[in-house]
Amino acid sequence: MNVSLSKRALLVASLALLALAGCHSFKKENVQPPTPLAKDFKPSLEVSRVWSSSVGKGAGETGLRLRPYVADGVLYAASNDGVLAAFDANDGKTLWSKKTRTHGWFGWGDKGRKDGFYAGGPFVAGDLLVIGTLDGHVYAVNAKDGSPRWEAALPSEVLATPAIADRLVLVRTGDGRVYGLDADTGERRWVYDQSTVPLLSLRGNGPLLVANGVVFFGSDAGRLVALRLDNGEKLWEQRLASGEGRTDIERLDDADGAILLDGSTLYGAAYHGNLVAVDGPSGRPLWSRPFSTFTSLALGGQAVYGVNDESQVWAFDKSGGSDLWKNPALKYRWLSGPAVQGSYVVVGDLEGYVHWLKADDGALAARERLSKKPIRAQPLVVGDMVYVEDIAGHVGAYRLGAH
Name the CATH superfamily, with its identifier, for domain 58-348: YVTN repeat-like/Quinoprotein amine dehydrogenase (2.130.10.10)
Kindly tell me if the per-residue pLDDT of 81 is higher than 80.
yes
Which CA distances in Å does 64 have to 49, 67, 398? 25, 9, 23
Identify the weakest region by mean pLDDT among 24-28, 45-49, 230-234, 357-361: 24-28
d(CA 44, CA 18): 32
Give 283-296 pLDDT, tens digit per residue. 999 999 999 998 99
ω into 122 cis (within 30 of 0): yes
Cβ density class 103-130: b for 16+ within 10 Å, e for less: ebbeeeeeeeebbbbbbbbbbbeeebbb
Mean pLDDT over all residues of the chain?
87
Residue 221 to residues 130, 218, 243, 248, 255: CA-CA distances in angstroms?
26, 8, 7, 13, 7
Phi then psi dihedrals of residue 219, to 5 deg = -95, 165
Q: How far does CA 163 lie from the centroid of its chain?
A: 13
Tell me what pLDDT residue 254 has. 66
Q: Looking at the predicted structure, is the pLDDT value of residue 362 above 90?
A: yes
Phi, psi of 10 (to 5 degrees): -75, -20
Q: Please report which confidence band the pLDDT of residue 100 belongs to, taking 50, 70 and 90 as the band edges.
A: confident
DSSP 216: E
Helix (H) or strand (E) holding 24: none
| pLDDT exceeds 60 at position 162 | yes
Is the model more confident about 17 or about 252? 252
Top-ranked range on mean pLDDT: pick from 16-20, 56-60, 334-338: 334-338
pLDDT at 108: 41
pTM: predicted TM-score of the whole model, two decimal places: 0.88
For residue 72, what are the contacts with CB-CB under 8 A and spacing of at least 6? none
- CB half-sphere exposure, 403, CA atoms < 13 A: 6
Alpha carbon distance 357, 327 (integer Å) = 9
Rg of the Cα atoms in the chain: 20
pLDDT tens track for 193-220: 976 665 555 555 789 999 999 999 998 8
pLDDT score for 402: 55
Average pLDDT over residues 127-155: 96
Rounded CA separation 338/6 (Å):
30
Domains of the chain, residue spans? 58-348
3-class secondary-structure state, position 84: strand
CB atoms within 10 A of CB 378: 26
DSSP string, 40-75: T---SSEEEEEEEEE-TTTTTTS------EEETTEE
